[in-house]
Structure formats: structure tokens, C-alpha cells
Amino acid sequence: MDSDAVSAISRLKFRYLRALDTKSWEDFADTMIPEATATYSEYLQFESRDAFLAFMRNTLGPHVITEHRCDHPEIDIDGDAATGTWYLADTVLIPGHNMLLRGAAFYNDRYVRCDDGHWRIAHTGYERTYEVVLSLSDLPSLRLTASRWGVITGEPGSVPDIPAVVSNIEDTPGGRVEEEPDEAIG
């Protein structure tokens, strides 16, 4: 096993997560090749880095506070290509929508070593093991005491309409939302 490559890919994934949570969109884009694809469940699929970046930028603006943690990496190297499976735990807080989401998933990534010698993501995506959504009204003692982006007031008009953002994914080149199946499988 190439321990230098495993270390570089681990660092890449951690950089991806940091850039996502700090909304450092240029750094986030630099973790992926332009042709990178992304799949988050069967409903959110992106055909390019630009489509994925546009969705993330529009959906996870300063009104959304996120924390993504990945560990337990299983990384396999094959020359200038690699695969990685990571265990994700995430929290999403949207005060303007009175919402707290907690979840876990397994990321399945593909990586390539680029001409500049750096590893980048060619494909990313995860399959949820669980996701729960809580109303902040159900947590009366919960208070947001700090945010990197300042005070979040939740005043009318201060938070973009998330369903409208999601419904416009199909208008993003390379982005699409699949319809949910009519009946549950299983």
C-alpha cells in the first residue's frame, strides 16, 4: 500500500469537509476534477463539478450551519486511481426553517492523481444509514450562541426558500432531481 497516497487522499477528504462547512467554495471546487460527478441518494445526482458546486452554494449559504465529520477510511490505491469509503456523521442547523438534521452515511468516493501530482475527487456520494429531522420548537432549551456568519435572525425574507432552490436543480446544467417512487421498496 502507498501510505503517502493514502495520507494525501485523507487530507483531501478532510479539506473537502472543511471547505464545505466553512463555505470556502473555491477550495471546495479545487478538491474535485471538472468532470467530477456526485450522487446523494437516488434523487440528487450531478454530472459535473460546476453543477454540484452551484447546488451546494445555493443550498448551503450562510443561513445554513453544517458540520460534517468523516472517519474510518478504507482507501485502496491502484496507480493514479483510488477508491475510498468513509463513515460520515453530519449535523445541519437551519434556524430560519426551525430545523435540525442529524444523520450518518457511508461516502463512496473515487479519486485520481492529476498532472500536478495532487489527488482530486472524480466522484463522491453517500448512502444514508439514517437521517432524523427535528423541529427547533421541540428543543426549547436549544440556543444558537455563536455562528461564523454572524447573527441569524430568521426574519421573514432573510432565508431563501429551500424547496424552491431544490426545485431549480434541474435548471442547473448537469444537475437533476429524480422523482420519488410511488411506493416504498422493502
What digits encode the pLDDT tens for the residues 25-75?
999 999 999 999 999 977 899 999 999 999 999 999 989 999 999 999 999
pLDDT category at 157 given cuts 50, 70, 90 is very low
This prediction has a pTM of 0.80
Q: What is the residue extent of each domain of the chain?
A: 3-177
List, in sequence order, every beta strand (DSSP E) within the chain: 32-40, 44-46, 65-78, 81-94, 99-113, 119-135, 175-177
**CATH class for the domain made up of 3-177:** alpha beta
**pLDDT tens figures, 160-171:** 333 443 444 445
